[in-house]
Amino acid sequence: MGLDRKISLPDFVKTIKNMDTSKLDMIELGWQEVNRYDDPSGRRFRPTRFRDLYRQQFRTWRTLDLCSGIGVESFDLSSLTDEKECADIITDYGTAEHVEKELGQYNCWVNKHNMLKVGGLVINALPLAGKWKGHCRWYYTPDFFLTLSNMVMK
């Protein structure tokens, strides 16, 4: 899963801006690193862990990654979990595309669905087909997410 992946945060910040996150349970897939800008010009930045910026705002915050670390739970998205409805928000900033094998991909998306509470939100920031060639085995299309959304809503 996504150790040391650098991500941008505008969509996440916009999404949680008007939420009372103190009552929400958050799952971060992959131990993500973000660039935190230290000056108004946006030219200088330092890497920071995503959870270190936002975890205090949530009731609970779990970081799940294939590799464990301090405060990181070892978790393999390619294997089905028994966990159900344990997160209000799940973020996947570049993790699912690294899950190998077809069955692993299926299990990854089933896990996200099952771990999400009813009415919850999954934020996926994954490479689109035709972008970032050679990055991973799996690429997604807007149609993939539309089809997935329609399947879940039934």
28 within 8 A of 94, measured Cβ to Cβ: no
Half-sphere exposure of residue 152, counting CA atoms within 13 Å on the CB side?
19
Report the CATH number that the domain containing residue 111 is assigned in CATH.
Answer: 3.40.50
Tell me if 14 is assigned to some domain. Answer: yes
pLDDT (tens place) for every residue of the chain, 154 residues total? 333 334 456 777 778 888 999 999 999 998 887 766 555 665 666 667 888 888 999 999 999 998 888 889 999 999 999 999 999 999 988 788 888 888 888 999 899 999 999 999 888 877 766 777 777 777 777 888 788 777 765 5
Strands 72-74 and 60-65, by their bridges, are parallel
1, part of any domain: no
Q: Residue 24 corresponds to which tokens in the numbers above?
A: 């929400």
Residue 102 domain boundaries: 6-148
Overall number of domains in the chain: 1
The partner residues of 91 in beta bridges, in order of sequence, read: 28, 123
